[in-house]
Structure formats: C-alpha cells, structure tokens
Chains A and B, each alone.
Chain A
Amino acid sequence: MRDFSYLRAGSVEAARQAAALPGTMILAGGTTLIDLAKCGVAEPDSLVDITHLKGLDKIEVSARGATIGALAKMGHVADHADIKRHFPAVSEALWQAASAQIRNMATIGGNLMQRTRCPYFRDPANFPACNKREPGSGCSAIGGVTRGHAVLGTSDACIAMYPGDLATALIAFDAIVHLGERQVSVDDFFLLPGATPDKEHAIEPGEMITAIEIPDSAAARRSTYLKIRDRQSYEFAAASAAVGIEFEADGRTIRDLRVALGGVATKPWRARAVEEALKGKVLEPDAVRAASLLAVEGAVDNGANHYKIELAPRVVARAILKMGETA
C-alpha cells in the first residue's frame, strides 16, 4: 500500500520548509491533487496540509487593486461583492469554472496550480509516454485524441492545454503571484512547455503561493469572461476570453484593451496583438472581428482541435463587442 505522511502546517514558514523536502506536496482543497493521486499521476511521499493556516484566505479590495489570499475559496472569490464590482471578469471566470461543490472546496492557490486535462497525462497505466510526467518518454497525445489540446504555445514535446479559467482572467489584468516575499507576474509564473513540459511554473521547492494581487484598472472594472463549451456547465473551455476595455471620453475610442485566451493554449495566453490592433481605434464590429483573428496568429492544430483556431477569435470578438455595447 502506498503510505504517505501527512503534516498539518502550523505556519507558512513551517509549510514551506516541509514542502522543500523531495517527494513532498502541498495539499490545499485537494480537488486536483487527490484526483491525480487516484489516477496514479501524483505519488507524494508526504503531504503538507495548508488549509488550516490562519489569515491566508483574506480577500481585500481597495482603490489600488485586490489581494486574494491563496486559501480563499473559488466560491468565495466568485461571490465577493467588491471583486464583482472591480474585477467582473475574475468573478465570472470563477463561477463558470468546475462545479459548485468543487468551488466550495478549491482554493485560489491550488486553482493556479491545477494540471492539464490531457487524457494521456492522466492515465499512466495505459500510456507510459508523457513528457510532462516522465521527461524524455515521448508524447502520447500527438497522433492521438487531441480535441481538447492546445493550438498555441505548443512544442514538439507537449501540446497539453492549460485548463484553468481564473488564470486567464488574471493574465489579462497583469496580476502578480506572491510567493512569500518573491513576486512574479502571472505571465512569467506560467511557463511554456518547450523542451521541458514537466516544468510548468516559476516556483521552486520550498516556495508557496501566498496571495494573488490584481492591480486596479479601468479595463478590469469593465471586463467580462466569456467561456464557450459543449456543455452549459461543469466543463472546461473549448475556448474562452477574458476581455477588459477602457474608452476615451467619447465613449467609442478604445484607450485600453486587455484580451486573454483560455482553453486554447499551453498556458494562460495574453493576446497582445489584438490589443495593439484596436487601441486608439473606434470600436466597430468589422474592425473588432478582423483584429480578433490576430489572437490565433501562429496557431498550430493537431487535427481534432482545429476548430479552436476558428472558435477562439469569434469568442474574443463577441466578448469585446459585448463590452462595447454596455458603454
């Protein structure tokens, strides 16, 4: 039987020290970790439970922005009145994620760290080849069932899609991940697979997410998260877009625009080309649709996921136009 030790951390410092030991993993809500342990993907020797740490679940919103503790529950953040007011896209990304039961258990820190849904990654008994799990073993997905795989940011080693919704909203608004004293932008926190798909985050052993900070911006205040999927609820995105917009005083000319994509890339994906193409322009449907095509520049499909290249720009365009309408 696979025994593992379990430690309930008394402080952030104790948790970090314990987590620095090889074979040790942090346990938050457990909705990713326990699931992966059942699949045989995660095989920790010891778990450090951080859910009892005091003060890490705070949600603070001020004129400068929001700071969300790593242990805040997805459900609480989604429902938080100030988050809804200042960062609607963040709230919308969260309430469209997973199910009510999972949102009640899962934490914001764990949410950022969730792993890909690549079915080959999740089934080691049947598919030993997976570079993300076993560096150098190959990639079972390439040439296989790829309907849910990424079209952006892929490499020859791995085409796994990053499935999270929250991080897509965060990257649009230049959020920062707090790892104790060290801080990293969300964009830098998530790594491209390149030749090392096993290394997903800019976080080192002994580090722990303590909070997420989202700077206030006019674009964030006027933002939305549009998630498209076959099933209306409880499904990962086929394609999603987090969009925030700020107009000039005329109410038509775009001063600031933020666009990020989910469900299509190997990491949360900021579509800066779309932003640049539209900034300074008057919001107008044809221009928005044309610019949205830039979101998938350089995209590469693997057959069954080709539709994502068609779909993503349409999702982006709809989200931008929706934000324009509410002017």
Chain B
Amino acid sequence: MTVHNMRHGDASDGGADAIGGRLSRVDGPAKITGSAKYAVEQQLEGLAYAVLVESTVASGKVRRIDTAEAEAAPGVLKVLTPDTIISLRTASDWFGTPPPDKPYCPLARDITFSGQHVAAVVAETFEQAVAAAALVKVSYDETPSIVDLSDSKAGDGIPIDAMTKEWGDAQAAFASAPVRICAAYNTPREYQAPMEPHGLIAHWEGDKLTVWEPSQWLDGMARTYAEWFDVPFENVRLVSPYIGGGFGSKALALSHGAVAASAARMLGRPVRLVMTRPQTFTGYGGRAATRQTVTIGADGEGIIQSIVHRGINETSMDGMWVEPLGSVTSIMYATPNFSSKQNVVRVNSVVPGAMRAPGENPSAFGIESTIDELAYEVGIDPLEIRLRNYAEQDPHAKKAWSTRQLREAFAVGAERFGWARRTPEPRSMRDGNQLIGWGVAAGTYPVRRAYGEAIVRILADGSVEVESSSIDMGQGTYTILAQTAAETVGVPADNVVVKLGDSRFPRAGVAGGSRLAGVMTGAVYKAATSALDQLVGLAISDPRSPFHALQANTLVVANGRISSPRGDGPDLSIAKLLTSVGRDHIEATGDTMPANSTAQDRYKNYTTIAMALPHTEGDYSRHSWCAHFIEVRVDEDFGTVRVSRVVSALDSGRLYNPKLAESQWKGGIIMGIGQALLEEGIVDRRHGRIVNNNLADYLVPTNADIPDIEVISVGIPDLHSSVLGGKGVGELAIVGVAPAIANAVFHATGKRVRDLPITLEKLI
C-alpha cells in the first residue's frame, strides 16, 4: 500500500519534515476520508465466506458433529470439521524452535476452552455461512473444567525457573527488617479489543498463497503459513496495508487463519473469514490473569532491605504463556536482597497472549502499589520514598543504565502536577461529595532491539520512495520513515512515498515490544544515506554531470536541490541531475544486520524473535522510563472513580516525531485508565465462559472518562539503544498507570484496592 505524503495546512506541521519534527500522520487523510483500504476489504473474484463454529463447553471431547443440515443449507460450499479439513504440519514457535513432526489441526476434537474452533462453514455469501453455521450440531462428552486462578482445582502451577531472579538473602533480610509490608495483588483477564476484528482473505494460486490480513509481523506470519502448508517461505505473500489496532494481538498467525487458508486450498477459491466480536474474546488470548505477592522489608527511613516477590499467571491447558511478573520488580528500586519466582497455572482458557507491555504492566501494578503501601507505613511521601530507593544502576544486571531520566521525570511531573500541595493523609482532600486523591507511580519498558532492512529509491522526478515489509497500525511508521528519508536524502517529506505492509518488500521483524521505530528508522537511515552517497557520487564523477568540472569532494542536497557547499557551482533539482546523467532512478538497500550475516541469519532475524538483542547486552541496561501523577475523584456515596487529571513525564530517549509519540503515550495512559477502572473478562464459573464478550459489556473508556492528559518528554538521545537515539514509545506509558490510580484511590478513600479493576462495589 502506498501512502502519499501530503501537506495538511496544519500549523503544527511547520518545519515538521525532519526527524524530530511534529509532522502529522501521513496516513491520516486516507483514514479520515475512508479511502484507506483494510486487508479484508480486498475485492476478489469468486470470494467465498467462512464462518467459525465454536465449542460451547470448556472441557471435554467432541462426540459428534452433525453437518447434514448445514451442508444442505442454501449456498453452502463446504463444512469443515476435524475430520474433513486438510491436514497441516505443526509450525515452529516464534523463537523458531523446530516443531514436533506431527500434524496440526486448527479445529479441535479435544476441547480445552469454551469458544474453541470446532468447525467452519464456507458459503457463497456471508449471510448463508452465518445461517448454516448455526445448523452445525456438535455434541460433547463434557469433563470438569478449571475456570481460573481462583478455582480450587487450579493448584500452584508449574514453576518457571527461567523467571527466577535472586541476589543476597531476601528471606533473611525481610525477617530482620524493622518495617515489613506484604500484600497480594490481582489483575483479571484483559482484552486488546482492537476496533478492527481479526480476519483475513486467503487466496491460493497453485502452490502460492496470498493472505490479506491485519498483521503486526508479516514475515513471522508468512513463515507460519508456509510451515503449516509445507510450501517454501517465498511462496507466501502477506499483505497488510493498514491495521485497525493490534496491541499485541495481531503478531502471530492464528488458528482461524489456518482454517481460512485450508478452506481456500480445499475449494480452490479465495476465502474470507472475519471473527465476530464475541469470537475476538476466545479466538486468541488477551492478557493473562495474574496474582502477585510482594513483600518489602525496609528500615524506618523507608530504605528497602529486601524484596520477595512471587507471581503466578494463567495459561491454557495446552499452550504456554509466561507473563513475566518480576520484570519491573527487579529493576525499579535498589535493594541489596531480592527474590522473585513465578509459576504458571493451567486453566481452561485460550492461551493468553501479548497485550501492551506484557509482563511490565502487571508487574508494575504489584511493586508500584507496594512501595506506596510502604510509604504510608513509614510515613514518607510516596514520591520521596521512590527517590530514596532510586536505583543508580540496574540492580539485577548490575550494569549502568544506558540512560535513565526517571529522576527528571519525577521532578518535572511533580512540578507540573503541583505535587508539593498534596496533603498526605487519606481522605484529607475533598470537593463536596467527591473525595480527591493524588497518586504517583513509575513505569518502565525495556528497549528491545532487532535488525531491519529497507529500500530507498530516488526517482527520476526527484521524489523518494521507501519500501519495507514493516507495518503501521496507527503508531506512525509511514510518517517517521518519510521523515527519516526526507531528512537523510534532503528532500521535503511530501516528496517521499512510503510503502509498507507487503511481505514482498525488504524485510522487517515484529512490530511488537516497541521496537519497530528504532529498528526501521535505522534501516531507512542507512539505505537513504547510501542512496544519497550514490547521488552525490554520480554528480561529482559522471562526466555528464554539471558538477563534474567543479572537482568538489562533496555536494549538498537540501530541499530537493543539489549544490556545492560553497555555493560556487550550479544549483539544480535532483530530477535535473538524474536527467543529465541519464539515470531514471537510484536505489539502495540498507540494513542494520551485522556485516557477516548469512542468508539464514537474515531469515531467522525477520521471521523469529530469536535474534532480538538482549536489553542488557554489553555494558548497558537499556529501558524507557516514566512517572505518572494522577488525580482521582471518588464519590463517597457511590464509590465511582473518575480520573480528573493526569500529568506524565516520560523518557523514551530521542523522539522521531513528538506529536506521534505524545499520541502513543496518551493512548497508553487511556488504556491504563481502562485497566485500572473498567476492564475485566467475567467468567461464568459453571461454564468456564466469558460472558461479557462484546463492547457493550466489556467496558473500555469513553471520551467522558478521559480528562486532559499532559505528557512531557524528558528523554535524551540514547545511542546505546538505537541508531538514531530513540527508545521504546508504544508500550511504556501504560505501565504504572493502574498503580498510580490505585494509589490515588487510597489517598482519596483510605481503601487499598489490590484487585483490578477498581469498580464501585469495591469502594462503597
């Protein structure tokens, strides 16, 4: 998909073209006018429609699937069941671990959760498929299920040794500490709830498969499809021009994709399958429910002596999802003694998945609540106690921070918020019936690094084209890559066309873990630099060039024109120069891979996450940081909590486009408000089924729930983190919002709510 950069007549665009400029989203007009075509809007001849049939029990075996009535229904082309669907091969996981050599069936015979795909109907029209799907009769031999973490049958789960982090003697230090805090915190199942539901169109031409599907990771998903269907990787093309929200849920090829692609193969026709909204609650996993106990031993001054942390998260019966609950606990505060361990508990649910800041998000809810409890226990201001325990280096890795502007974030945030005016006692600030509370919490997210690849072309008309198989799900890839190419080559940003979202383009890894901007600006910078070098090289050395006679060492390209640094030679447009030297374009591929990388290394880098560089690689520990200051108003009679003010100061290093970074931060904070106050998958304990599986009952914040949010950048360029100095943006800001709100609620009411969400019945 191509996005032409345009002028917006928006004053904020002034001088916005360069890296670091406040250029508005170049894909904005297409989205606002409706001309942006999303993956499943593709029109194909002969398109057939598939609809999923889901299990209505949470545990057991499919006894019988009666398809006779559905098959006889008008328009029905095929009913797929575990018995009739073609056999696929098991694909490797996202680390690229070689899979067991066994078949894979995306339709289940053994039921491990309610809402599992058991059959699918394909028909000429969507309506026919929906009607026929209701006629498929499935009977089960039901067995008892384990509903969730609190189920008496759930047990303690499986220890995940890789999550254990220990130094010093945490238990002994805790036992002898003068001040001891111990509390348990719970977070429920939460869902990404993207506006655009998951879905795809699969189309086979011989052994070549094209999939139009919203995707956070074209190359990774193409690999999975290739392995499932046992065709070469090159035979699979993923196309994903725009993504209507992913939040972690669109990074992997999922079983519904296997169903649609199988149906397309079996029918020899393109097949479209889109999940219903209820199916988006069981067709793939949201954030796992978690439970943590955090104990802190401290001295009377609030200086931490020991942290002991135990966490569990739920996973499915047959899949493994580890939500790293000790990730923030182990780095936020300096402590001489530390112990963190984690178990994973199997329940009858779909395997949980990545949702904005997996791990860091619930982890911060635990530690950032507990430190607040400690502050009250020892009678120290919650901001002051954070500064007293400030970690001057990574306490776990024992390495220097690459950059950590957290102290600055606390200072700037507190100043803008007016923290000094806070009266410490709970229930000490009110406005009529409204109890007012001010809370603070910090957040962090590691800098995940990988390699990327891009092509930059300088075309005959002087415009610049960028191609990459990376994607834009609203975070601004189209825009910042245009800025990067514009600045590097020396053309206005509206002369740059960025093409993304097609796996035929130069490769990119996952748009997850807040890494894509850092990876891709680096790749485009390299490709653009080499294109510029070629351009200048031609201008200097080609005998047909007007600059040839000048015998200059270098030339300047700016604003689409090329001239000598001293201004003593010709001054002409890039287009003119290319004409004079007889070239219709210049092309350069750039990547950030190590020089000696093999083709296999490259494949592995782009299709798995196995080559991502550890954030503590080398001498530094690399993270983004933030501090949230939040005011809540709690109605003393009704227990309703409203967030009335947010000031957050954030360190994401250098910002490639502050306008887009601020928008991402605000989005994260809004999602955090939803997590704190509204979001929870509610399970019927008898049936193991999510009952609020729609957007009327699964509540996310509305505009009315969101006050003005002030976000302030306190970052400085961090060249240990990325080529151009940025750290992660997308996930950081949600981390710490829920504890800041819970802490504010405590300040307002004197009630410590340790189970999210903080709904009104917990406060009345």
Q: A residues within 8 Å of B by Cβ?
A: 1-2, 40, 117, 119-120, 123, 125-127, 143-145, 147, 228-235, 238, 306-307, 310-311, 314-315, 317-318
CA distance A279 to B686 in the complex (A): 47
Give the shortest distance, in Å, between A161 (CB) and chain B (any CB).
13
In addition to A119-B691, A311-B638, 19 A-B residue pairs with Cβ atoms within 8 Å of each other are A1-B73, A1-B74, A1-B125, A117-B697, A125-B56, A125-B134, A144-B685, A144-B686, A144-B687, A144-B691, A145-B682, A230-B757, A230-B759, A231-B699, A231-B704, A233-B704, A306-B761, A311-B639, A318-B637
B691 partner, pick from A145, A234, A235, beta carbons under 8 A:
A145
Contact A117 B764 (CB under 8 A): no
B722-764 interface code vs A (CB 8 A; 1 in, 0 out):
0000000000000000000000000000000000010111001
Contact A1 B75 (CB under 8 A): yes
Contact A147 B682 (CB under 8 A): yes
At the interface, yes or no: B180 with Cβ under 8 Å from chain A?
no
Q: Which residues of A contact B686 (CB under 8 A)?
A: 143-144
A1 partner, pick from B127, B692, B757, B759, beta carbons under 8 A:
B127
Contact A231 B702 (CB under 8 A): yes
Closest 4 pairs (CB-CB, A-B): A307-B761, A233-B704, A232-B704, A119-B691
- The prevalent SS among residues of B at the interface is loop
At the interface, yes or no: B677 with Cβ under 8 Å from chain A?
yes
Residue of A nearest to B683 (CB): A145
At the interface, yes or no: B22 with Cβ under 8 Å from chain A?
no
A233 partner, pick from B278, B683, B692, B703, beta carbons under 8 A:
B703
With contacts A232-B702, A307-B760, A311-B760 known, is A126 near B56, CB below 8 A?
Answer: yes
Contact B697 A1 (CB under 8 A): no
CA distance A48 to B702 in the complex (A): 34
Q: B residues within 8 Å of A by Cβ?
A: 56, 73-75, 114, 125, 127-128, 130-132, 134, 278, 433, 635, 637-640, 642, 677-678, 682-687, 689, 691-692, 696-697, 699, 701-705, 757, 759-761, 764
Q: Which residues of B contact A127 (CB under 8 A)?
A: 687
30 example contacts (A-B, Cβ-Cβ < 8 A) are as follows: A1-B73, A1-B74, A1-B75, A1-B131, A40-B134, A119-B692, A123-B691, A126-B56, A126-B689, A127-B687, A144-B685, A145-B691, A147-B682, A228-B635, A228-B640, A229-B640, A231-B678, A231-B699, A231-B701, A232-B642, A232-B702, A233-B705, A234-B704, A235-B699, A310-B764, A311-B638, A311-B639, A314-B637, A317-B637, A318-B637
Contact A230 B678 (CB under 8 A): yes
CA distance A320 to B637 in the complex (A): 14
With contacts A144-B684, A229-B640, A311-B760 known, is A2 near B131, CB below 8 A?
Answer: yes
Q: Which residues of B contact A125 (CB under 8 A)?
A: 56, 134
CA distance A307 to B704 in the complex (A): 24
CA distance A145 to B127 in the complex (A): 31
Q: Which residues of A contact B705 (CB under 8 A)?
A: 231-233
Q: Which residues of B contact A143 (CB under 8 A)?
A: 686
Q: Which residues of B contact A144 (CB under 8 A)?
A: 684-687, 691
Residue of A nearest to B129 (CB): A1
Contact B764 A307 (CB under 8 A): yes
Most buried by A among B635, B687, B691, B692: B691
Q: Which residues of A contact B702 (CB under 8 A)?
A: 231-234
Give the shortest distance, in Å, between B262 (CB) and chain A (any CB).
23
Give the shortest distance, in Å, between A127 (CB) and chain B (any CB).
8
Q: Which residues of A contact B703 (CB under 8 A)?
A: 233
Q: Which residues of A contact B757 (CB under 8 A)?
A: 230
Q: Which residues of B contact A233 (CB under 8 A)?
A: 702-705
Contact A238 B696 (CB under 8 A): no
With contacts A1-B125, A117-B697, A119-B697 known, is A126 near B687, CB below 8 A?
Answer: yes
Q: Which residues of A contact B678 (CB under 8 A)?
A: 230-231
Give the shortest distance, in Å, between B150 (CB) and chain A (any CB).
14
A230 partner, pick from B127, B134, B640, beta carbons under 8 A:
B640
CA distance A231 to B679 in the complex (A): 10
CA distance A311 to B114 in the complex (A): 34
CA distance A144 to B640 in the complex (A): 24
CA distance A147 to B682 in the complex (A): 10
Q: Which residues of B contact A117 (CB under 8 A)?
A: 696-697
Contact A230 B697 (CB under 8 A): no
Q: Which residues of B contact A306 (CB under 8 A)?
A: 761
Contact A238 B760 (CB under 8 A): yes
Residue of B nearest to A228 (CB): B638
B684 partner, pick from A1, A145, A234, A311, beta carbons under 8 A:
A145
Residue of B nearest to A40 (CB): B134
Most buried by A among B127, B701, B703, B761: B761
Most buried by A among B125, B638, B703, B704: B638
Contact B134 A315 (CB under 8 A): no
Residue of A nearest to B55 (CB): A126
CA distance A105 to B692 in the complex (A): 24
Give the shortest distance, in Å, between A48 (CB) and chain B (any CB).
21
Contact A315 B638 (CB under 8 A): yes
Q: Which residues of A contact B759 (CB under 8 A)?
A: 230
CA distance A234 to B458 in the complex (A): 50
Give the shortest distance, in Å, between B278 (CB) and chain A (any CB).
8
CA distance A125 to B132 in the complex (A): 13
CA distance A224 to B692 in the complex (A): 31
Residue of B nearest to A144 (CB): B684
Residue of B nearest to A306 (CB): B761
Contact B699 A230 (CB under 8 A): yes
Give the shortest distance, in Å, between A312 (CB) and chain B (any CB).
11
CA distance A128 to B629 in the complex (A): 48
Give the shortest distance, in Å, between B297 (CB) and chain A (any CB).
36
Most buried by A among B114, B677, B682: B682
Q: Which residues of B contact A314 (CB under 8 A)?
A: 637-638, 764
Contact A230 B760 (CB under 8 A): yes
Q: Which residues of B contact A1 (CB under 8 A)?
A: 73-75, 125, 127-128, 130-132
A120 partner, pick from B128, B132, B691, B761, beta carbons under 8 A:
B691
Give the shortest distance, in Å, between B518 (CB) and chain A (any CB).
36
CA distance A147 to B683 in the complex (A): 12
CA distance A126 to B279 in the complex (A): 13
Give the shortest distance, in Å, between B393 (CB) and chain A (any CB).
42
CA distance A298 to B334 in the complex (A): 56
A318 partner, pick from B127, B128, B433, beta carbons under 8 A:
B433
Residue of A nearest to B278 (CB): A123
Q: Which residues of B contact A317 (CB under 8 A)?
A: 637
Q: Which residues of A contact B685 (CB under 8 A)?
A: 144
CA distance A209 to B114 in the complex (A): 41
Give the shortest distance, in Å, between B683 (CB) and chain A (any CB).
8
CA distance A317 to B638 in the complex (A): 11
Q: Which residues of B contact A311 (CB under 8 A)?
A: 638-639, 760-761, 764
CA distance A228 to B73 in the complex (A): 47
CA distance A150 to B696 in the complex (A): 18
Residue of B nearest to A238 (CB): B760
Give the shortest distance, in Å, between A260 (CB) and chain B (any CB).
18
Give the shortest distance, in Å, between A122 (CB) and chain B (any CB).
8
CA distance A229 to B677 in the complex (A): 11
CA distance A126 to B55 in the complex (A): 9
CA distance A117 to B699 in the complex (A): 14
Residue of B nearest to A317 (CB): B637
Give the shortest distance, in Å, between B276 (CB) and chain A (any CB).
8
CA distance A143 to B764 in the complex (A): 24
Contact B131 A126 (CB under 8 A): no
